[in-house]
Amino acid sequence: MKKYRLRYAPSPTGFLHIGNTRTALMAFLFAKHYDGTFIVRIEDTDLERNVDGAIESQFNNLDWLGIKADESIYQPGLQKYGAYLQSQKFPRYREMAEKLVQEGKAYYCFCTEEELDQDYQKQKSQGIVATKYNGQCSCLTTSEIEQNLKANKPYTIRFKVPNNHDWTMADLVRGPITFQSKDLGDFVIIKANGVATYNFAVVIDDHDMEISHVVRGEEHISNTPRQMMIYDAFGWEYPEFAHLTLIVDETGKKLSKRSGNALFFIEQYRKQGYLPDAIFNYIALLGWSPKGEKELLTPPELVSHFDEKRFSKSPSTFDMKKLRWINSQYLKKLSEEDYLTFIKPFIDSSRFNWKTKHQNWIDHVLKLYQKELEYGEQINDHLGLFFEPQTLPLEVVINLKNLDDFTKLISYFEKEIRNLEPWTVESIQQLIKKTGVATNSKGKNLFMPLRSFTTRAEHGPALADNIFLLGKEQVLKNISETTKEFLN
């Protein structure tokens, strides 16, 4: 039976973002659907560009999302799979490159790019079918190459591209793609500093770790023929490839940290108050779709529904509105206890002195908004009603003046609420109904004046809850202040 082993292999030159999260997630779903192994391998050979803390951040955010590695630098697999950090495999890459040199499939090159360009142009001017790389260091004779080696002069190792050869990749997303050797020059596999290039190291790693399927972005398509050549040179079997289509922003451009309408890094979504399962759910729908109409799927359901035949061939648009809607649905599903635990860290304590309030009171306030929030930080758009002085908008004042005479209604309600006992949501609800009957008011003519005078706001949660939480003293104060404004 085929063993499914898939990997996500980020470089620590940046932090986890939407694009590489989608790559990791698809590889994770693919592996788990077939009871396989999901591997996280770190490609840190670009030593100068590595960012401090990037590796830890990658794992921290993957774990938060629930994309947990079965094998990684923190939990290595069998010894035969090798290291999970490329910088620990330099001797392995050198050994395999030297093997290709010995077999005549690669060669030492002492030429600079400038020298290669000059030699290339010289051959063309002489009417020679020119190539920058012709199976040996084209700027030097064989004896000169040997002398340079003895003198320990720096060199690269280039892979010798076979002549007149085609490679066809059976891509799981796009179908067959054919590459021709005439379009490719000999390429470096070991740089002058001794570090393996991406295309060489990734093949060694994928072979050593017995990777069965490679899921990655479409920008890697151009790398694939070079990697297939290296597989062929060693006599190794190719993994199956799946090159995911681009994720684009609302303007059709590739999603990036400069995209104006979307956050780019996963850490930004965590800080704004998105739930990990909601992010997991939404990103799974970028470039892939389950059967049926259902879009809200838990991680276990997505694993169960995964089908590699349902990758999209079209770019995926990152839609913030849809992500916010999905997150709002997950927020609504939380139990009250889980919701309160989740939402409290997002309250701006520098603005709202909520910790001095009774726990039952603040819990009541927060629960009013569970069905309205799209993400955690949004709670701060609502709390001002209970913590900050309110100014009745001018347009509300104008609209009130266009209603039927409401002074009798407010006078009646103010008198009754002064003596209202007990002070409960239920008793306030009854008083609102009683006021409507007594003043022959209903609908907009009842609720608009009452909300405006008691809360000094145009909108808010259920009016009885709103009045209860503000408290009798504040409600009477609001009525008094608003009445004075109408008299002036």
**Per-residue model confidence as pLDDT tens digits over 348-383:** 999 999 999 999 999 999 999 999 999 999 999 999
Specify the length of the chain in residues.
Answer: 488
For residues 61 and 96, membership in a common domain is answered with no
The predicted model gives 84-112 an average pLDDT of 93
Bridge partners (DSSP) listed for residue 109 = 156
For residues 35 and 110, membership in a common domain is answered with no
257 is in an annotated binding site: yes
For residues 97 and 50, membership in a common domain is answered with no
Kindly indicate the confidence band of residue 488, based on its pLDDT and cuts at 50, 70 and 90: low
What CATH number should be reported for the domain holding residue 180?
3.90.800.10
Would residue 102 count as lying in a domain?
Answer: yes
- Tokens representing 127 are 């009417």
The predicted model gives 144-162 an average pLDDT of 85
Kindly indicate the confidence band of residue 147, based on its pLDDT and cuts at 50, 70 and 90: confident
Would residue 435 count as lying in a domain?
Answer: yes
Would residue 233 count as lying in a domain?
Answer: no
DSSP 355-385: GGS-HHHHHHHHHTTTTT-SSGGGGGGTTHH
Identify the pLDDT of residue 153.
Answer: 85
DSSP state of 421: -
Is 60 exceeded by the pLDDT of residue 123?
no
For residue 425, the surrounding DSSP H or E stretch is helix 425-438
Is 70 exceeded by the pLDDT of residue 121?
no
Contact 227, 169 (CB under 8 A): no
What mean pLDDT is reported for the chain? 91
For residues 59 and 105, membership in a common domain is answered with no
- Last-in-domain residue among 316, 333, 350: 333
Domain hosting residue 396, numbered range: 389-487
Spatial neighbors of 462 by CB under 8 A, at least 6 apart, are 368
Is 80 exceeded by the pLDDT of residue 117?
no
Would residue 185 count as lying in a domain?
Answer: yes
Identify the pLDDT of residue 129.
Answer: 43
Is 50 exceeded by the pLDDT of residue 294?
yes
Q: From its phi and psi, is residue 130 left (phi > 0), alpha (psi between -120 and 50) or beta?
A: beta
| Among 386, 399, 392, 412, residue whose Cα is nearest residue 453 | 392
- What is the residue type of 193? N
For residues 276 and 321, membership in a common domain is answered with yes
For residues 123 and 149, membership in a common domain is answered with yes
For residue 435, the surrounding DSSP H or E stretch is helix 425-438
Kindly indicate the confidence band of residue 130, based on its pLDDT and cuts at 50, 70 and 90: very low
The predicted model gives 433-453 an average pLDDT of 93
In whole angstroms, what is the distance from residue 184 CA to residue 186 CA?
7
| Among 2, 6, 1, residue whose Cα is nearest residue 241 | 6
In whole angstroms, what is the distance from residue 364 CA to residue 465 CA?
9
Degrees (nearest 5) of the Cα angle 286, 38, 257?
A: 40
Identify the pLDDT of residue 140.
Answer: 66
Identify the pLDDT of residue 163.
Answer: 87
The predicted model gives 332-360 an average pLDDT of 96
For residues 268 and 303, membership in a common domain is answered with yes
The residue written with tokens 């000059």 in the block is 118
Identify the pLDDT of residue 126.
Answer: 57
Would residue 196 count as lying in a domain?
Answer: no
- What is the residue type of 442? K
Kindly indicate the confidence band of residue 406, based on its pLDDT and cuts at 50, 70 and 90: confident
Identify the pLDDT of residue 161.
Answer: 92
Residue 353: phi, psi to the nearest 5? -85, 65
Would residue 206 count as lying in a domain?
Answer: no
Residue 164 to residues 129, 179, 186, 188: CA-CA distances in angstroms? 14, 11, 13, 20
Is 90 exceeded by the pLDDT of residue 80?
yes
In whole angstroms, what is the distance from residue 449 CA to residue 441 CA?
10
The predicted model gives 322-334 an average pLDDT of 98
Kindly indicate the confidence band of residue 138, based on its pLDDT and cuts at 50, 70 and 90: low
Is 50 exceeded by the pLDDT of residue 9?
yes
- Last-in-domain residue among 146, 171, 190: 190
Identify the pLDDT of residue 484.
Answer: 86
Is 80 exceeded by the pLDDT of residue 112?
no
| Among 20, 79, 416, 406, residue whose Cα is nearest residue 215 | 20
Question: Which of 188-192, 392-396, 403-407: highest mean pLDDT?
Answer: 188-192
The residue written with tokens 């509105």 in the block is 321
DSSP 73-125: SSS---GGG--SBGGG-HHHHHHHHHHHHHTTSEEEE---HHHHHHHHHHHHH
In three-state secondary structure terms, 39 is: strand
Is 60 exceeded by the pLDDT of residue 127?
no
DSSP state of 218: G
For residues 59 and 103, membership in a common domain is answered with no
Per-residue model confidence as pLDDT tens digits over 172-212 = 999 999 999 888 888 999 999 999 999 999 999 999 999 99
Identify the pLDDT of residue 139.
Answer: 59
Identify the pLDDT of residue 152.
Answer: 81
DSSP state of 382: T
What CATH number should be reported for the domain holding residue 398?
1.10.10.350
Identify the pLDDT of residue 262.
Answer: 77
Is 80 exceeded by the pLDDT of residue 408?
yes
103 half-sphere exposure, CB direction, 13 A CA radius: 14
The residue written with tokens 């391998």 in the block is 41
Would residue 186 count as lying in a domain?
Answer: yes
Kindly indicate the confidence band of residue 148, based on its pLDDT and cuts at 50, 70 and 90: confident
State the total domains in the chain: 3
What CATH number should be reported for the domain holding residue 316?
3.40.50.620
Bridge partners (DSSP) listed for residue 140 = none
Contact 229, 203 (CB under 8 A): no
Would residue 141 count as lying in a domain?
Answer: yes
For residues 71 and 99, membership in a common domain is answered with no
The residue written with tokens 């900050």 in the block is 388
Identify the pLDDT of residue 118.
Answer: 64
Is 60 exceeded by the pLDDT of residue 128?
no
Contact 256, 265 (CB under 8 A): no
For residues 400 and 482, membership in a common domain is answered with yes
The predicted model gives 258-283 an average pLDDT of 93
* Cis preceding linkage at 290, omega within 30: no
- Last-in-domain residue among 333, 356, 371: 333
DSSP state of 15: -
- Tokens representing 208 are 């050593």
Spatial neighbors of 136 by CB under 8 A, at least 6 apart, are 107, 142, 145
- Min mean pLDDT across 131-135, 275-279, 385-389, 410-414 is at 131-135
- Count Cβ atoms below 10 Å from residue 122 Cβ, excluding itself: 11
For residue 33, the surrounding DSSP H or E stretch is helix 18-33
- Tokens representing 434 are 């009683």
Identify the pLDDT of residue 307.
Answer: 97
Is 50 exceeded by the pLDDT of residue 65?
yes
- Tokens representing 273 are 């108050």
How much of the chain exceeds pLDDT 90, in percent?
Answer: 77
Question: Which of 258-262, 397-401, 468-472: highest mean pLDDT?
Answer: 468-472
Contact 417, 448 (CB under 8 A): no
